[in-house]
Structure 1
């Protein structure tokens, strides 16, 4: 299927989820992430803040867990047309950004490039790690700037079934996908 078709299909599937389902599935995704990757103190994790109206994975449980265990947490913020990584702490102040996403007030880019994990939003991911986002290319551009050792991890409610027919040359695939049922690796061409 083409990205536009998959984007529409998976937006509709996500919109059909109740808030109870979003919370339960997010909890299972979080548990799978922690059990598989076992994040350690002082590791650096970049994690998105969800767009709640699109029923994105609730990453607040990730952030709370990381901060309580001295894992360094960075969140994306769009400044002009670029995605930057802002480090956050338990007392960081947030405000609604242009996309209606809660963002840190600070515009200070951490300039960190060696993240241990980059927890990445998506609408769909195929069996090769190719992802469908919202079509703005922010994460592909961001992936170009980080260390090749940074693990790019998608989180999604749905398993990869259909292949993406229109993968572009500049698309950067994920290394892993975490779903409520499993953690899939794409590192060995699986």
Structure 2
């Protein structure tokens, strides 16, 4: 299936989820992530903040846990059409941008490029780790500038059903996908 059709289909699928389902499934994804990857204090995790109107995985569950466990947390912010990585703390102030995404007020790029985990938003991920996002290319550009040792992890409510037909040369696949029922690995190391 082509990315444009997948994008339409999975936006609708996700929008059909009730608020209770979003929280329940997000919690199951969170628990699968913690049980599989076992993050510990001092690690560096880059994680997105959800777009609530699109019923994205409620990553505040992850963020609150990471901050409580003294795990360093970095979130994306779009500045001049580029995704930068801002480190956040319990006292960090946020504002909502034009896309309805909560972002830190700070525009200071941490310039960190060696994360233990990068928890990545997506609409769909196939069985080879290829992802469909919103089509802006921010994460592919971001992935080009990070350490090859950083584990790129997608989170999704749905398991892969089919392969993406129009994978492009510059698309960078994920290393893992975490769903409410599974953790799928697309490469041989952990």
Q: Scaled by the length of structure 2, what TM-score is found?
A: 0.98
State how many pairs are aligned: 189
Q: Using the alignment, how far apart are the partners of 2:99 and 2:84 within structure 1? A: 15
SS in 1 for 2:103: strand
Q: Using the alignment, how far apart are the partners of 2:23 and 2:135 within structure 1? A: 25
Gaps of 5+ in 1: none
Partner of 1:41: 41
After TM superposition, what 4+ stretches of structure 1 lie above 4 angstroms from structure 2?
none
Query: Shift in Å at residue 105 of structure 1?
Result: 0.1
Structure 1 stretch 94-103 or stretch 29-38: which is displaced more?
94-103
Q: How does 1:1-190 map to 2 (within 5 A)?
A: 1-188=1-188
Q: Using the alignment, how far apart are the partners of 1:94 and 1:188 within structure 2? A: 38
Q: Using the alignment, how far apart are the partners of 2:98 and 2:121 within structure 1? A: 17
Query: Shift in Å at residue 98 of structure 1?
Result: 2.1
CA RMSD of aligned residues (A): 0.9
Query: Shift in Å at residue 97 of structure 1?
Result: 1.1
Deviation per residue, 1:14-33 (Å, 9 max, x gap): 00000000000000000000
Gaps of 5+ in 2: none
Q: Using the alignment, how far apart are the partners of 1:57 and 1:74 within structure 2? A: 17
